[in-house]
Amino acid sequence: MTSEIDKARGRFLRLWQEDPRPWHIAYSGGKDSTLLLQLALEVAREQSTPKEIIVAFNDTRYEVDGKLERIERNFSRIAATGLAKPKILRPKPRDTILVRIIGDGYAPPDFRFRYCTRYSKMDPSLASEKELAARSGGCLTFSGTRKEESTDRLRRLTKNGSPESLIPRRKRLKIDDSFPLADVKTSELWGYLEGLGTFIWGETIDELKELYPGDTVAQRDGCWLCTVCAEKSSCEKQCTPGQTKIRRFIRAIKEDPEKRRLCKLENHKKRLEKGLASGYFTMEARQEILDVVQEVEREENRRYISDEEIAHIREIWGGGRKGFYLGNLTRFRAKRKVENVRDFD
């Protein structure tokens, strides 16, 4: 009986032989993307006809300590194989989550509105895919998403016909998505990776398992600023005290109705009338968040918000860029101590 992993490898082989478009592979460094990349490179290694392969990692700018260093180490190994070109993608400084929160006044992401995924991952990925497609007449994108991970992914992948079907995403640019691991079970995934011991680019199973202490099934990774992650997730355990302080402060201030009184929508106003936090952060609340971030920077002697991000916040607060703004920044600052507001003068 053919295993789901063999079927997934067969899908890579068929697409290599039948479709001339280059590949854009999403890589997070976790177990799913590791298997995805391993199978893709197994096929690539056996072919005589060349194909461009981009392996892309999304750096949200808020990765937990050690993660980016591990990715860069693996990317050096992948580049050395000559089979693929590694690429680290980052959001524009204007689109980072701290700029959206402190500058625009967005409430932090939650399960209903995870705008962080769009700005930190989807937009940079799409820009990279478009660039590849524009110079190559299209491209195929690959993700390690599996049905077993959640009921939502089961529904979505089943509806799209994955893993067999290609999902058109940008027809004009000829960009199609593929989810070759959709039917692979977690137990089969770990069994295959453990059987290999060492992956094509030289990373070992022991290195991978360092990301999954204890339970190799239930761990969830995320950025240190993630207000959606459970407090006891693997991400939480990897955060510095300062990172935890920033995240918990933002999460707490989000629930204070007095800190979120700028409303555009009627349902926001109705929630406020009921005493529920809703709408955009007030200017005072944004300043409080910035103060906490910069306080942690001084305590830990490291940067969490760049000069470029500060410049964008300054421009938004001053009304020079689109953002939900009420009042004049000069009047606001006159009531505050501004010596800790770096690069605002």
What are the tens digits of pLDDT across the range 40-88? 999 999 998 899 999 999 999 999 888 999 999 999 999 999 999 999 9
76 lies in some domain = yes
Residue finishing a domain among 185, 209, 233: 209
Residue 19 lies in a domain: yes
In a domain, 224, yes or no: no
Residues 108-113, mean pLDDT to the nearest whole number: 82
Q: How confident is the model at residue 285 (pLDDT cuts 50, 70, 90)?
A: very high
What is the rounded distance in angstroms from the CA atom of residue 201 to the CA atom of residue 82? 10
Residues 246 and 197 in one domain: no
Q: Is the pLDDT of residue 321 over 70?
A: no
pTM for the model: 0.85
Q: Which of 181, 176, 128, 182 is nearest to 21 (CA)?
A: 176
Cα separation, 51 vs 47, in Å, equals 9
**Number of domain units in the chain:** 2
Cβ contacts of 107 within 8 Å, gap of 6 or more: 101, 113, 254, 260, 277, 279, 280, 281
- For residue 281, give the 3-state DSSP assignment: coil
Whether residue 154 is contained in a domain is answered as: yes
Same domain, 178 and 267: no
User: Do residues 278 and 257 touch, judged by C-beta distance below 8 A?
Assistant: yes
Please say which residue of 209, 227, 258 terminates a domain: 209
pLDDT band of residue 337 (cuts 50, 70, 90) is very low
Comparing 131-145, 147-161, 202-216, which segment has the lowest mean pLDDT?
A: 202-216
Does 302 lie in the same domain as 173? no
The predicted pLDDT at position 216 comes to 44
Torsion of Cα atoms, 132 then 136 then 140 then 143, to 10°? -20
Same domain? For 330 and 245 the reply is yes
Residues 154 and 270 both lie in one domain: no
Beta-carbon neighbour count of residue 151 at 10 Å? 8
Tell me, yes or no, whether 205 lies in a domain.
yes
Q: How confident is the model over 99-104, as a mean pLDDT?
A: 94
Q: Which of 290, 315, 293 is nearest to 304 (CA)?
A: 293
pLDDT, averaged across the chain: 86
Residues 151 and 275 in one domain: no
Same domain, 172 and 321: no
- Per-residue pLDDT, averaged over 140-150, amounts to 93
**Which pairs count as long-range contacts for 320-326, CB under 8 Å and 24+ apart, including other chains?**
321/94, 323/103, 323/104, 323/105, 324/104, 324/105, 324/262, 324/264, 324/280, 325/105, 325/283, 326/262, 326/282, 326/283
Angle at 72 between CA 150 and CA 54, to 5 degrees: 70
Q: 252-265 burial, b if ≥16 CB within 10 A, otherwise e?
A: ebbeeeebbbbbee
256-284: pLDDT as tens digits: 888 887 666 666 666 666 666 778 899 99
More confident residue, 22 or 165: 22
Do residues 56 and 163 share a domain?
Answer: yes
**Is residue 55 classed exposed, middle or buried when 0-12, 13-18 and 19+ CB atoms within 10 A define those classes?**
buried
What pLDDT, in 10s, does the model give residues 158-189?
Answer: 988 888 889 998 999 999 999 999 999 999 99
Which string of DSSP letters, residue by residue, matches 48-77? Answer: SS---EEEEEE--S-PPTTHHHHHHHHHHH
- CATH number reported for the structural domain that contains residue 90 in this entry: 3.40.50.620
| 130 and 10 inside one domain | yes
Per-residue confidence (pLDDT) for residue 139, from 0 to 100: 97
pLDDT in tens, 218-262: 455 678 988 877 555 556 677 899 999 999 999 899 888 888 876
The amino acid sitting at 261 is R
Structure tokens at 169: 């995403």
Residue 230 is predicted with a pLDDT of 53
164, 190, 209 - which closes a domain: 209
Residue 231 placed within a domain: no
- Same domain for 286 and 204: no
**Distance separating alpha carbons of residues 256 and 134, to the nearest angstrom:** 47
Indicate whether 79 belongs to any domain.
yes
Parent domain of 283: 241-334
What pLDDT is recorded for position 233?
A: 58
Instruction: Please give the share of the chain, as a percent, with pLDDT higher than 70.
Output: 83
In a domain, 93, yes or no: yes
Q: What is the DSSP pairing of strand 175-178 with strand 53-58?
A: unpaired
As a whole number, mean pLDDT of residues 201-218 equals 80
Instruction: Strands of the chain (E only): list them.
Output: 23-26, 53-58, 85-89, 139-142, 167-170, 175-178
Same domain, 195 and 285: no
Residues 295 and 170 reside in one and the same domain: no
Count of residues making up the chain: 345
